């Protein structure tokens, strides 16, 4: 009798513990199904305050607009990186630490391009579109307002003293691919991920997130665009409305398979006189999939929680029955 009561208590405790544990750890891939496809649009991103720097997303859809200019730009050269240019002060200390570590390992860092204003980006993109055609240019260059360079958090790295983009076959590019995340920097457009990032592989383009968030994104295995969309971006990707949580409007499949990978050419000098942005920008993306029910949940709960609850109920019923049997006087 006492043994049965103890077993019942232990089972209940175990059941409650199992019920609590899965609820406390959110599923890391919960937002992946909601990643909007690579469709050209001009929706103002949310959040985009200057203090929201680590969570602000710009991509083919989302823009910070022409008026966005970080208030705390500082010179990169003081951090021990050659090539001039500016980044936000929030990124300076970790850039200096990273530059010191890279130098100590024999691969000192240089900069090809860092902060770019809306106006500079407009001239640059238009020169690419003119030279390569809009449909090619959009794969390796952002329209004005959509560039991470306008955030003041990006550096296109070179080996120190040069102005040639690093690749992962050069010592400096390899060092960055292995170590940059430890200092808060992540490669925005990795190899083979164009269906998710919308841009072709850029082994030189790193964005600063701060060490904690960079480590989280690195450990998630997601691209920075996927991670921000699923955790922080609170704008409906179709209507531009503010929404209360990240990952609005799940849209089934993400995007069509990426076009054949191509290495973008070396940057050309921006056109002297900016021309207007080519029209027809809405024709690039595939049709939007109809909204689908959120996958991966049962009755709105995570499957492990539902299973544990069912198990708990079954175990309790079994124990109550055996308890009653044990109480019943034996009449044999």
Site string for Zn ion, 35-54 (x = CB under 5 A): --------------------
- How, if at all, do strands 43-44 and 62-63 pair? parallel
CA dist., res. 270 & res. 122, Å (int): 9
Q: Which is nearer to Zn ion, 55 or 207 (CB)?
A: 207
Minimum gap (Å) between residue 312 Cβ and Zn ion? 53
Shortest distance, CB of residue 187 to Zn ion, whole angstroms?
10
| String marking each residue 95-114 x if it binds Zn ion according to CB under 5 A | --------------------
Q: Fill in the DSSP letter of residue 324.
A: H
Sign of CA dihedral 248, 254, 260, 261: positive
Is residue 205 close enough to count as binding Zn ion by CB under 5 A?
yes
Closest to Zn ion by CB, 37 vs 156, is 156
Report the residue number, 41 or 202, with the smaller CB distance to Zn ion: 202
For residue 89, the minimal CB distance to Zn ion (Å) is 20
Q: How far is the CB of 296 from Zn ion (least distance, A)?
A: 34
Between CA 102 and CA 109, with CA 106 as vertex, the angle to 5 degrees is 45
x-or-dash pattern for Zn ion, window 273-292, by CB under 5 A? --------------------
Quote the CA–CA distance of 152 and 87 in Å, as a whole number.
Answer: 5
C-alpha to C-alpha distance for 169 and 185, rounded to whole angstroms? 19
Residue nearest to Zn ion (CB): 205
Number of residues that bind Zn ion (CB under 5 A): 2
Q: Which stretch binds Zn ion (CB under 5 A): 69-77, 132-140, 200-208, 229-237?
A: 200-208
* Residue number, 129 or 235, with CB nearest to Zn ion: 129
Q: How far is CA 136 from CA 94, 139, 140, 265, in A?
A: 34, 6, 8, 11
Residues 207, 196, 144, 167, CA torsion sign: positive
Report DSSP state, residue 254. Answer: -
Q: Among residues 156, 189, 225, 229, which is the contact residue for Zn ion, using CB under 5 A?
A: 156
Count other Cβ atoms within 10 Å, centred on residue 321. Answer: 10
Measured from the CB atom, is 107 or 188 closer to Zn ion? 188
What residue ranges bind Zn ion (CB under 5 A)? 156, 205
């Amino acid at each position: 009798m006492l043994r049965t009561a103890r077993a019942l208590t232990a089972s209940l405790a175990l059941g409650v513990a199992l019920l609590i544990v899965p609820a406390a750890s959110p599923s890391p891939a919960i937002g992946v199904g909601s990643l909007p496809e690579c469709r050209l649009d001009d929706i103002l991103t949310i959040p985009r305050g200057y203090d929201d720097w680590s969570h602000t997303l710009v991509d083919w859809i989302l823009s910070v607009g022409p008026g966005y200019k970080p208030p705390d730009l500082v010179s990169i050269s003081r951090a021990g990186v050659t090539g001039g240019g500016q980044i936000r002060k929030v990124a300076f200390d970790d850039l200096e630490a990273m530059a010191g570590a890279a130098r100590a390992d024999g691969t000192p860092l240089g900069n090809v391009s860092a902060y770019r204003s809306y106006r500079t980006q407009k001239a640059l993109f238009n020169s690419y579109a003119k030279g390569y055609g809009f449909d090619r240019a959009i794969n390796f260059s952002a329209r004005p307002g959509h560039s991470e360079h306008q955030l003041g958090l990006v550096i296109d790295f070179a080996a120190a003293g040069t102005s040639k983009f690093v690749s992962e076959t050069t010592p400096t590019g390899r060092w960055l691919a292995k170590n940059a995340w430890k200092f808060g920097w992540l490669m925005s457009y990795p190899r083979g991920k164009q269906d998710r990032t919308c841009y072709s592989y850029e082994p030189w383009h790193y964005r600063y997130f701060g060490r904690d968030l960079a480590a989280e994104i690195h450990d998630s295995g997601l691209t920075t665009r996927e991670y921000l969309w699923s955790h922080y971006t609170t704008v409906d990707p179709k209507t531009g409305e503010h929404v209360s949580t990240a990952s609005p409007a799940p849209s089934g499949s993400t995007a069509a398979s990426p076009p054949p990978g191509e290495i973008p050419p070396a940057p050309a000098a921006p056109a002297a006189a900016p021309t207007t942005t080519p029209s027809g920008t809405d024709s690039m993306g595939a049709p939007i999939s109809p909204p689908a029910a959120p996958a991966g949940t049962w009755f709105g709960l995570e499957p492990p929680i539902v299973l544990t609850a069912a198990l708990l109920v079954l175990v309790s019923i079994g124990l109550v029955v055996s308890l009653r049997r044990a109480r019943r006087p034996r009449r044999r």
